Chain A
Amino acid sequence: MSSAVAIRPPARPDRAESVVTEGRAVRWGLTGIAILFLALFLVLPLVTVFIQAFAKGWSAYFAAFQEADARSAIRLTLLVAAIAVPFNLVFGVSAAWAIAKFEFRGKNLLVTLIDLPFSVSPVVSGLIYVLVFGSQGLIGPWLIENDIQVIFAVPGIVLATIFVTFPFIARQLIPLMQEQGTAEEEAALTLGASGWHAFRTVTLPNIRWGLLYSVLLCNARAMGEFGAVSVVSGHIRGLTNTLPLHVEILYNEYNFVASFAVASLLAGLALVTLVIKSLLEWRYSADIAAGARRH
């Protein structure tokens, strides 16, 4: 049977765009709104920090860091991060390892508990420590008897910081390790490797970029934490003031240049973190993001 239907090539769209894309005006409009929003709420405040910090010139800026209290705040912040981050590194890796690779009773409860610091207001987190370790608190009297000071001292600040930054590393690693499964570790064990050797040579290299990424975020938060630390610190200048608390004190004393100068240090830390984070994401996105199969 002969067909009289003329065969015509299918109409080819001229534009190289995907069919799901919007029109030009809509695209530009949406992008514009997003950029405006970012400029107003993120870039402008950031620029203000630096403008204020340098408002009276370089010498005033650097003078802010010459002050003994500022130096002690920097030292304390570094000290707190140097304790809290390694602690959460060990805890986060162990917790993620246990949750991702083993089945045990109470696993869901553990996952929920790890999330707790994310859902609790930092101020409440700080208050909890005051209620436990403070002089009117649960074990306060015992601590006083034994001459151990936790609240309004460095141990309290470290504890509060650890609590607030608790989920960062575990949360990042759990899905990553779950996605990787246990086959490679099992292979290592059948080849005669001890559990520790398998962890060092197989598990750790598989999570290294995700781990670095989460340590970075954990560190940024540990150095920048305000709420919880503010409650337990007692704001003793030169003793229990971290950088964020020092910024607040200076600001409340109308010492704007010094306040913004110290704040610029934190802002700088945030920027550096952001750059390294972006570099990591760009270079090792597959190793960081769980869910992407890699073989």
Chain B
Amino acid sequence: MGTSTAIRVENLSKTFDTAAVLHDLSLDVRAGELLALLGPSGSGKTTLLRIIAGLDFPDRGRIIFGSDDATQLPVQERAVGFVFQHYALFKHMSVAENIAYGLNARKRSERPAKAEIKRRVGDLLDLIKLSGFADRYPSQLSGGQRQRIALARALAVEPRVLLLDEPFGALDAQVRKDLRRWLREIHDRTGQTTIFVTHDQDEALELSDRVAVLSKGRLEQIGTPDEVQENPVSSTVLKFLGDTIEVEAIVQGGEVRVNGRLTPVKAPNGLVGPVKLYARPWQLQFAEPDQAHLEGSVRSSYRSQGRQRIEVDRPEGKTVVVEASDSGRVAAGRHVGLKIIGGYVFKD
């Protein structure tokens, strides 16, 4: 993975009708990296991707490819490969014609010879492991196969950057998993700078070199999957990356207390008074009442793959979820104490 910047997004703002979808968003994409744009629907991630592609234009801000300002460059001249959620294959063309489309669309002087195009299509079909499919039509292929063809079609023009808009969104769970692994392999082999949009945390964390978490048109955090998971910068990032428990807490002298009892969580500098403490389900443990931060009665539990998740109703009326290794069923209605062994407190 290189460290030079392939694409720089500077202070991008975009408004549709009256709704702002991007607010002053800046972001660097490194050459050769696989970057995930992660966010809930309406976070502006697809709009950002389309602006990078040149399919949409920003109200303010700039897009810089390498050292060139590409903000006003038409889509045809940006040399991006775009893969759509619903494939957008050309229905009336064979697989080979689809893949060759970008090469055939070039001006005569820049167009490779027929034999060269054929060779390149063959190579790409090998790469996506669909060698025997050159003469098929999109309607004869499964969803996963279509998306692979769409990727080969985008790669055929040797793009500067590959942009994928929810590429696995329309596929079923098993195919998604296979394709994720496969996309990672292709990326490792080609070293192609790639940005993909997803609302699926697992997909982003499993696939990408870095994750950019977007919320309401702003960049919340960007970092490696480990960084964003271990050091989320806001409750928004934390909540979006997985199940979160919220507990009332008090900060005093840098220490965080819940129900008067000290927790191992450290508060950021300068924070004093009542706050929210956020924890993952596995950052709660069952404990004796004299060591517990919280108490409640077990509402329900289920066990799966060596783990168990237990829902506990707290007297205040809120329910928290505890995840622990499976040590036998916990009876519903049992009164339990819970100890906080980790968590986060944010300034916002």
Stretch at the interface among A107-115, A151-159, A187-195: A187-195
Please give me the residue from chain B that is nearest to A180 by CB atom. B91
Distance to closest chain A CB from B119 (angstroms)? 18
In chain B, residues 141-200, which have Cβ atoms closer than 8 Å to a Cβ of chain A? 150, 153-154, 156-157
Stretch at the interface among B18-26, B74-82, B294-302: B74-82
Q: Is B41 an interface residue (CB 8 A)?
A: no
Q: Mark A89-125, 1 if CB is under 8 A from B, else 0.
A: 0000000000000000000000000000000000000
Distance to closest chain B CB from A186 (angstroms)? 6
Q: List, in ascending order, chain B residues with CB within 8 A of A193's CB.
A: 76, 101-102, 105
Q: List, in ascending order, chain B residues with CB within 8 A of A25's CB.
A: none
Q: Mark B102-144, 1 if CB is under 8 A from A, else 0.
A: 1001100000000000000000000000000000001100000
Q: Is A57 an interface residue (CB 8 A)?
A: no
In chain A, residues 175-190, which have Cβ atoms closer than 8 Å to a Cβ of chain B? 183-184, 186-190
Interface size on A, residues (CB 8 A): 18
A190→B53 contact, CB < 8 A = yes
Distance to closest chain B CB from A40 (angstroms)? 44
Distance to closest chain B CB from A206 (angstroms)? 7
Q: Is A24 an interface residue (CB 8 A)?
A: no
A190→B75 contact, CB < 8 A = yes
Q: Is B88 an interface residue (CB 8 A)?
A: yes
A183→B105 contact, CB < 8 A = no
Distance to closest chain B CB from A207 (angstroms)? 11
Point out the residue from B81, B87, B90, B139 that lies within 8 Å of A190, measured CB to CB: B81
Known interface pairs A183-B84, A190-B80, A192-B157; A294-B91 also in contact (CB < 8 Å): yes
In chain A, residues 249-295, which have Cβ atoms closer than 8 Å to a Cβ of chain B? 294-295
Distance to closest chain B CB from A99 (angstroms)? 19
B105→A187 contact, CB < 8 A = no
Bound form: Cα–Cα A192–B106 in Å: 7
Q: Mark B66-99, 1 if CB is under 8 A from A, else 0.
A: 0000000001101111101011111110000000
Bound form: Cα–Cα A192–B112 in Å: 14
Bound form: Cα–Cα A197–B101 in Å: 11
A188→B138 contact, CB < 8 A = no
Q: List, in ascending order, chain A residues with CB within 8 A of B53's CB.
A: 190
Q: Is A36 an interface residue (CB 8 A)?
A: no
Please give me the residue from chain B that is nearest to A202 by CB atom. B90
B139→A295 contact, CB < 8 A = yes
Point out the residue from A184, A186, A188 that lies within 8 Å of B105, measured CB to CB: A188
Q: Mark B50-76, 1 if CB is under 8 A from A, else 0.
A: 000111000000000000000000011
Bound form: Cα–Cα A188–B156 in Å: 13
What are 5 contact pairs spanning A and B, CB under 8 A? A186-B55, A192-B76, A201-B105, A206-B91, A294-B139
B residues contacting A by CB (< 8 A) are: 53-55, 75-76, 78-82, 84, 86-92, 101-102, 105-106, 138-139, 150, 153-154, 156-157
Query: Can you name 17 extra interface pairs (CB under 8 A) apart from A187-B84, A190-B53?
Result: A184-B88, A184-B90, A186-B75, A186-B82, A186-B88, A187-B82, A187-B88, A190-B81, A190-B82, A191-B154, A192-B157, A193-B102, A193-B105, A194-B76, A201-B101, A201-B105, A295-B138
